[in-house]
Amino acid sequence: MTRELYTEYGYTSLNHYGEELCGDNVEITVDDGWTTLVLADGLGSGVKANILSTLTSKILCTMVAGGADIEDCVDTIIQTLPVCKERQIAYSTFSIIHVNNQGRGHLFEFDNPEAIWYHQGRCCDFPRTQLQVFDRRVYVTELKLEEGDMVFVMSDGTIHAGIGQVLNFGWQRREIKEHLDSFLDPHMSARAAACMLASACNDLYLDQPGDDTTVAAIRLRPRMRVHVMVGPPVSKDKDQEYVQAFMADADKRIVCGGTTSQVVARCIGRRLTSSMDFPDREIPPIGYIDGIDLVTEGVITLRRLLELSEKYVSVKDLSPKTYSASDGGSLLANIIFEEATHLKFFVGQSVNPAHQGLDIDITMKLKLVERLAQNLRKMGKQIEVLYD
């Protein structure tokens, strides 16, 4: 049986040192199994570059996702972009990935550094065909990606990294590929991989980027359906039905909350045990139920997860996107951020007697789940929230 695949994406941007706005822009559209990602690099830096790259990425993403020919796309960009008064040119480079969940599609490149293809555990180059569009040379690649493949596109801030500082001639493309071969974990999400490469560029710039720098990546990976239960239903008579739905059709199952875990253990006829380890003194210890992949405490752990999700979705945050700690919040983040592609939340609205007199109520839990779902959608996850 063929495994269902899913196109995962993510990117990280570094602003030119001293600039509030980034001269690069990434636009992403997902529609009917197709993912369209456009990375545009506007001329110069600051406000003008930001306007050029934003216009370019939005126009191209809309047109390519809608099935327009690349010739029409380039013509529209030429006719649309404002002209720089100083240099008398309207200029923005771009890279476009248009691919479906079977890894079939196209890559279009105009004056950005050549894309890097991570395939079967190492970095390699795509075969490219040159296409003359008016007076522009656009390179076209037919994509036939396999499970585990990643595609990296980037602005020229990557190959300029370290010029005049750590390196004489910048970070050569060959060296970038060697870095990825050495440090890229094939199980990393696209977001984590893009952040890892952008962080290396920032190190070469000594934390003061001399150019806007953006790395975007897609990864073709198996679908991972994760069910998360964060509360039992209001009516105890529905416990068995609710837990039965929670246990069905999932690759991994997570239970958050002491009372919730007791309900699940009772309904599936398994024993609930608790760990006595406190890897993080601010986060309650995890529990164990046979058949459940992770059991955590409720509101406090969800608060930590929300905090981690805010950093994860920030395209400017360079902290690692994988979590090595063994506390409940970190374990939860690894499964939900890095492993899951499709998430279904079972949000029971039963009032927990243990919370009486505390600054915790059902409204707080619902708001936590709502904000978390918003951030997960920004990560490209498919989210469903069921209330009972």
Per-residue pLDDT of 142-154, as tens digits, reads 999 999 999 999 9
| Domain residue limits at 298 | 225-387
Q: Give the pLDDT confidence score for residue 78 in this predicted structure.
A: 82
Same domain, 236 and 193: no
Last residue of a domain, one of 222, 244, 259: 222
Same domain, 292 and 180: no
Same domain, 218 and 262: no
Last residue of a domain, one of 183, 200, 222: 222
What would the pLDDT profile of 89-134 be if each residue is shown by its tens digit? 668 999 999 999 999 999 999 999 999 999 999 999 999 999 998 8
Question: b vs e for 165-201, b when ≥16 Cβ sit within 10 Å of the residue's Cβ?
Answer: eeeeebbebeebbebbeeebeeebbbbbbbbbbbbbb
The tokens for 312 are 């994860």
What would the pLDDT profile of 222-248 be if each residue is shown by its tens digit? 999 999 999 888 888 999 999 999 999
Same domain, 217 and 231: no
- Alpha-carbon distance 152 to 213, whole Å? 13
Q: What is the mean pLDDT of residues 245-254?
A: 96
The CATH number covering residue 57 comes to: 3.60.40.10
Q: Give the pLDDT confidence score for residue 350 in this predicted structure.
A: 73
Same domain, 232 and 216: no
Given pLDDT bands bounded at 50, 70 and 90, which one contains residue 85? low
Q: Give the pLDDT confidence score for residue 339 in this predicted structure.
A: 96
Count of domains observed in the chain = 2
Same domain, 13 and 147: yes
Q: Are strands 342-347 and 225-231 parallel, antiparallel or unpaired?
A: parallel
Q: Is the pTM of this model over 0.95?
A: no
Same domain, 119 and 233: no
Q: Between 349 and 188, whose confidence is greater?
A: 188
Last residue of a domain, one of 194, 222, 250: 222
Q: What is the mean pLDDT of residues 168-195?
A: 93
What would the pLDDT profile of 332-380 be if each residue is shown by its tens digit? 999 999 999 999 999 987 766 555 555 455 678 889 999 999 999 999 9
Same domain, 215 and 237: no
Same domain, 210 and 231: no
Three state DSSP letters for the chain: CCCCEEEEEEEEEECCCCCCCCCEEEEEEEECCEEEEEEEEECCCHHHHHHHHHHHHHHHHHHHHCCCCHHHHHHHHHHHCCCCCCCCCCCEEEEEEEEECCCEEEEEEEECCCCEEEECCEEECCCCEEEEECCEEEEEEEEECCCCCEEEEECCCCCCCCECCCECCCCCHHHHHHHHHHHCCCCCCHHHHHHHHHHHHHHHCCCCCCCCEEEEEEEEEECCEEEEEEECCCCHHHHHHHHHHHHCCCCEEEEECHHHHHHHHHHHCCCEEECCCCCCCCCCCCEEECCCCEEECCHHHHHHHHHHHHHHHCCCCCCCCCCCCCCHHHHHHHHHHHHCCEEEEEECCCCCHHHCCCCCCHHHHHHHHHHHHHHHHHCCCEEEEEEC
Same domain, 241 and 209: no
Let me know: does 55 contact 80? Beta carbons within 8 Å: yes
Same domain, 27 and 104: yes
